[in-house]
Amino acid sequence: MTMKTLEDIQEQLLDDYKRSKAPADSILFLGDSLVEFLPTNKLALTAPLVNHGIRGIDTRFLLEHLATLTTNQVPKSIVLLIGTNDLMLGESVDDLVERISRILELLRQKFPRAELYLESLYPRRQSESYGVALADEIAEANLYLRTLEAHYIDVYSRLVGEAGLLKPDYTKDGVHLNYSGYKVVMALLEEVLG
């Protein structure tokens, strides 16, 4: 058995998402691994949920593949969470915010009746696998993201601990959430989207 590369997994997910047809009036989740690993089956929401998260992606990838990710979709709401990987790759906060604004604009054009929600970037911790915590960059980005044309969901303030870092009880590797972390996120999503 051969190991799949990150690119193989991303391509497989894109292909799966392109072929899937979502029920009308669903809630569509778009973003990176934090979205992909969100246990949407545990969310207590009445609308059908569609999770099109893809691990390892950044805003450039999402812009390039947005049409594929939204094929066969007629969502009543779209929840976007993207950007941490951009910062990890050294992108500036200004460039990140500009691309997220563009993604929201494209979603608004394609789905003019859908409610758009933008989650704050989640705090991180320094980790061997994922590098520095980026606490200052994430805090700065969130200041700008809250001003964009979407309903802003401030997940950051629910997950952040000392020194702008992700609370250690909420993570398994410094970046990705464990189930305790996702319970906090899901409670807020249910409050906002319910």
Q: What percent of the chain has pLDDT over 70?
A: 98
* Domain 6-118+127-154: assigned CATH number: 3.40.50.1110
Dist. CA 174–CA 126, nearest whole Å: 6
pLDDT in tens, 48-75: 999 999 999 999 999 999 999 998 899 9
pLDDT in tens, 103-136: 999 999 999 999 999 999 999 999 988 999 999 9
Cα separations in angstroms, 56 against 48, 84, 172, 179: 25, 10, 17, 20
pTM: 0.96
pLDDT score of 96 more than 90: yes
| Close Cβ partners of 46 (under 8 Å, ≥ 6 residues apart) | 194
User: Which uninterrupted H or E stretch holds 78?
Assistant: strand 75-81
What DSSP designation does 47 have?
S
- Confidence bin at 22 (pLDDT 50/70/90): confident
- Confidence bin at 23 (pLDDT 50/70/90): confident
